Amino acid sequence: MVSTQRRILGSAAAALFACSLFTGAAPAGAVDLSAQDTCLRGEVCVYNGNGTLIWSSQGNLDVVLPQFEGGGKIRNNGWPDPGKDHIRYQGVSFYGDEIDGCLHYPNDDEPTEAVIWNNAYITKITWIGAC
């Protein structure tokens, strides 16, 4: 009887330990990368209306981003690099109007960020030489 109780308690303890591995709880001092702004220098970054980074790249956008319910923003976090340090972005608003803009890299002329209209689509982001 005692050995059966020990096996049950041992099994219960093992199950609790296994469950704790899958709860997503981070150990003390761990960094939650999903909560950080990972827009690195040299990238163009796109945020949703909540300020969450949804896309970043050092290259051009070659897919249509999901509709921006609640708006968003585009940010050029690039470096001075002749021929590819400015961002040309294009899209379509909810009303069918074309969206077309250009962003400078940080510490160049303004602007370095642009607001994306509510319910707009961004269809193209391209690194270019100058606005």
Distances in Å between the Cα of 34 and the Cα atoms of 37, 41, 52, 100, 114 are: 8, 18, 9, 30, 23
In this prediction, residue 17 has a pLDDT band, given cuts at 50, 70 and 90, of: very low
Structure tokens at 83: 């021929």
Task: Give residue limits of the domains in the chain.
Answer: 40-128
What pLDDT is stored for residue 34 in this prediction?
A: 42
> pLDDT, tens digit, for every residue of 54-107?
999 999 998 888 888 889 999 999 999 999 999 999 999 989 999 999 999 999
CB distance 72 to 50 below 8 Å: no
Q: Kindly tell me if the per-residue pLDDT of 14 is higher than 70.
A: no
Q: Which of 63, 69, 76 is nearest to 111 (CA)?
A: 76
> pLDDT, tens digit, for every residue of 111-131?
999 999 899 999 999 999 999
* Edge-to-edge order in the sheet of strand 86-92: 98-103, 86-92, 121-128
What pLDDT is stored for residue 37 in this prediction?
A: 65
